[in-house]
Amino acid sequence: MSEKICFVVMGFGKKTDFATGRVLNLDATYEHIIKPAVEQAGYRCIRADDINHSGMIDLHMYRMLLIADLVIADISTTNANALYELGIRHALKNKTTVILSEDKTPLHFDLNHIATIQYEHSGDDITTTESQRMITRLTHVIRDATVRQDPDSPVYTLLPKLRMPVLDSEEIEAIIEEAQTIDNTWSTLLGDAERYIRNSEFGKAKVNFEEALKLNPNDSYLTQRLTLATYKDEQPNKVGALMEAMQILTKLDFKNSNDPETTGLAGAINKRLWNETMSIHFLEEAIVAYKRGFILKRDYYNGENLTLCNLLMSEQQVKGSNIETYHLVEAYKVAKDVLQTVKRMLEITSSSQRSDYKWILATTAKLSFFLKEDHLAYEKSFEELADEWELSSYLESKDVFSKFLEN
């Protein structure tokens, strides 16, 4: 086998780190750090597909962990599968294993004595500066791991006479070919699904995510993306699509979930059902979901929507009642909290560093407008970056806030 193989074990899509409440896009780590560094170091990169075959632990995974010339394990979000696969690699191979983790993920006590390369993750993306820094660093680490003679596996360090299992060259070639086929199929399925989402082809995205869930039925990220594609598809009609999406999301126990992505979806579905039916039950459920997500994540998305839903709920109450006052006070309190947060974010970041930069601008503009602060500069900056539909969505949301301007 002339070509050197790197096998990457990590989660895919957006995963929640329940220790910190942060949501990380692990695909960004792979695309902007791991894959470029691996290829720059002269390796062919194959990503673990994380697929469960027939309810049994994947045989192909074990094989790749044994034969790969290099394994990179990203244990960010304390991903259970990545940690397990890292342990298997340490048991099978004495060296050429590299561990990565984003810098806010707490390391387990039994890993904190093993060299772990940490990187900075903004949540939705990797900044250009951090990507370049980490590609350079990881490339050097890979090259050092390739030539070093000492084991990096704690198993072979503590048991130096232990012999590694081996396979013959024909078996290795067959395993690599199978792994590449699975990796390509999986990558194509998810890549096409995400492209359909970006192009607003939600029906096609829904089909792909359904197929992906057949291969990996217990993955929360795939369930979340299928939920999104389903209600955005609006088939057979808006209410029907929203109810179907709610049923899909039920699998993640969204009422008790500590995953802010799940609670955010529950809030979005209920808010849209309120808009379509004017049933106050859905508005109440939207407030519960957004509030739970905001408490968990303290993010601008849940915060802005919690503000908006509290304002809408105040409209449904008797004028001057305690309940109306409660919802108004909650709305202004959250709005002020979120506005402080997004203003700080804009001070320390730029459009080249965050893929959601324009949405931070939009939230800043809307909440500044709502709280009677200067909003025009933020609005102008958003307009320069926004597509037509994004601007339309912004103006629609701003129009709702305008009805509740502080006296």
Say yes or no to pLDDT of 371 above 90: yes
Strand extents, DSSP E, 176-230 = none
116-131: pLDDT as tens digits: 899 998 777 788 889 9
Residues 153 and 188 in one domain: no
Measured CA distances, 18 to 261, 361, 387 (Å): 12, 27, 34
Say yes or no to pLDDT of 56 above 70: no
Residues 28 and 144 in one domain: yes
Contact 145, 42 (CB under 8 A): no
How many independent structural domains does the chain possess? Answer: 3
Say yes or no to pLDDT of 52 above 50: no
Q: What is the mean pLDDT of residues 31-46?
A: 94
79-106: pLDDT as tens digits: 888 888 999 999 999 999 999 999 888 7
Residues 14 and 143 in one domain: yes
- Of 163, 192, 213, which residue constitutes the final position of a domain? 163
Contact 142, 38 (CB under 8 A): yes
Residues 79 and 208 in one domain: no
Q: Give me the pLDDT at residue 51, please.
A: 41
Q: How far apart are CA 400 and CA 285, in angstroms?
A: 19
Contact 306, 291 (CB under 8 A): yes
Q: Give me the pLDDT at residue 82, please.
A: 87
Higher pLDDT residue, 218 or 265? 265
Say yes or no to pLDDT of 406 above 70: no
Contact 48, 63 (CB under 8 A): no
Q: Give me the pLDDT at residue 356, please.
A: 83
Structural domain for 154, as ranges:
5-163
Q: How far apart are CA 293 and CA 258, in angstroms?
A: 8
Say yes or no to pLDDT of 273 above 70: yes
Residues 118 and 211 in one domain: no
Q: Give me the pLDDT at residue 50, please.
A: 44
Place of tokens 């006296």: 407
Residues 159 and 192 in one domain: no
Q: Is 5 helix (H, G, I), strand (E, B) or coil?
A: strand
Tokens of 4: 């050197």
Contact 402, 374 (CB under 8 A): no
Q: Give me the pLDDT at residue 23, please.
A: 79
pLDDT band at 77 (very low <50, low <70, confident <90, very high): confident
Query: Which amino acid, 372?
Result: K
| Residue 262 falls inside a structural domain | no
Q: How far apart are CA 352 and CA 127, in angstroms?
A: 7
Residues 152 and 220 in one domain: no
pLDDT band at 259 (very low <50, low <70, confident <90, very high): confident
Q: Give me the pLDDT at residue 174, please.
A: 74
Higher pLDDT residue, 344 or 80? 344
Residues 325 and 306 in one domain: yes
140: domain CATH number?
3.40.50
Contact 8, 34 (CB under 8 A): yes
Q: What 8-state DSSP symbol labels residue 316?
A: T
Tokens of 337: 């909290």
Burial class (CB in 10 A: 0-12, 13-18, 19+), 74: buried
- Of 235, 253, 282, which residue constitutes the final position of a domain? 235
